[in-house]
Structure 1
Amino acid sequence: MTNVAQGRGRRRLVTTVKDAVRSLRTELALLNRRVTGRLQLREGDLDLLEVIARLGPMGPSTLARHTALHPATMTGVLDRLEKGGWVTRERDPDDRRSLVLHVRRDRVREILTLYSGMNQALDDLCANYTDDELRVIADFLTRAAEAGNSETRNLDEP
């Protein structure tokens, strides 16, 4: 095979990977939209709950930075999530002037139940790969997420 043919084959393969990532993003967005509809949440609410659940309890300002929401917008969103029983705001034991947000674990079960089909599908899919292949897939997805995070920060800069 010539270098030109190898180059075209590689470009096609890279394009296939990028198309698959875009397709995955679309399908996950549609799934998330259905989940938020069932839970009577707004679309961005799941992202906020995920950040708190993944990174642990944090203050509203920290959450606003992680999600690129304006602090004034964050206040309204948190009021709504607290009223809906999704989060609690507690005094920071180290700084009584500050609040710490917690996701209500009993409500997280509702979310996990709605994603159980997707989680099972991923378990079934992963069963078809060796440990070494899964390490490569995990590495790719981790690096792709980091690239997305980096590009998001670049767009935030003036």
Structure 2
Amino acid sequence: MSTVDDPGARPHRRPHAHPIMAALRELRVQLSLLNHQVAAHVELRDIDLDCFELVSREGPMSPTMLARRAGLHPATMTGVLDRLERGGWVTRERDTTDRRAVGVHAVRGRSAELVRLYAGLGRGVDDICAGYDERELALVADFLRRTTRAGRLATEGA
């Protein structure tokens, strides 16, 4: 039996990957629909919400870095940041050590509003997790982290 710690010990599992990929595609659609509803509720575009999430989760970053992480052209990022700043979601602040540099900072109070809007999903995930033991949850979490990393690598390589 293979373990999470030894990926090389696993046999080729392509036949099993098909239903997993199908489930991930369906999850992507459902999360996209939910994100669209949440973005509309707070009067943002989907990409604006994505950019706020990146800054909120990863901390302050330059507009150029945010554009790179979001896969956007820098000119497009300007419009996104203008909308986020007008809505009170982010601030652009001069770097204290390099006055030419600007950092994009998430306005923390706004995250609570999003948590409330995603609460239904949170409750659903809590209910699902209640049916698994700690070892199974660790395995699921590991799978999701690795899948996220594979997605990021695929995005960066595209």
In which range does the TM-score fall when normalised by the shorter chain? 0.7 to 0.9
What's 2:21 paired with? 18
What's 2:46 paired with? 43
After TM superposition, give the deviation of residue 44 of structure 1 in Å: 0.6
What's 1:4 paired with? none
Query: 1:153 aligned to 2:146?
Result: no
Residues 4-153 of structure 1: matches in 2 within 5 Å? Answer: 11=15, 13-153=16-156
- Alpha-carbon distance in structure 2 between the residues aligned to 1:72 and 1:10: 41
- Alpha-carbon distance in structure 2 between the residues aligned to 1:149 and 1:73: 20
**Matched residue SS, 2:111:** helix
After TM superposition, give the deviation of residue 65 of structure 1 in Å: 1.2
- Alpha-carbon distance in structure 1 between the residues aligned to 2:111 and 2:57: 12
Post-superposition Cα deviations, 1:20-47, rounded to whole Å, max 9, x if no partner, equal 1111111101100110111110011111
- Alpha-carbon distance in structure 2 between the residues aligned to 1:58 and 1:150: 20
- CA RMSD in angstroms, aligned pairs only: 1.4
Moved segments of 4+, more than 6 Å: none
After TM superposition, give the deviation of residue 10 of structure 1 in Å: 7.2
Post-superposition Cα deviations, 1:45-96, rounded to whole Å, max 9, x if no partner, equal 1110111011101111111111111111111211111011111111111211
TM-score, with structure 1 as normaliser: 0.87
- Report how many aligned residue pairs link the two structures: 146
After TM superposition, give the deviation of residue 151 of structure 1 in Å: 1.0
| Counterpart code for 1:112 | V
Post-superposition Cα deviations, 1:85-117, rounded to whole Å, max 9, x if no partner, equal 111111111211111111111111111110011
Unaligned runs of 5+ in 2: 1-12
**Matched residue SS, 2:41:** helix
| Counterpart code for 1:43 | D
In structure 2, relative to structure 1, the CA distance for the partners of 1:10 and 1:103 (3 Å cut) is: closer
Unaligned runs of 5+ in 1: 1-8
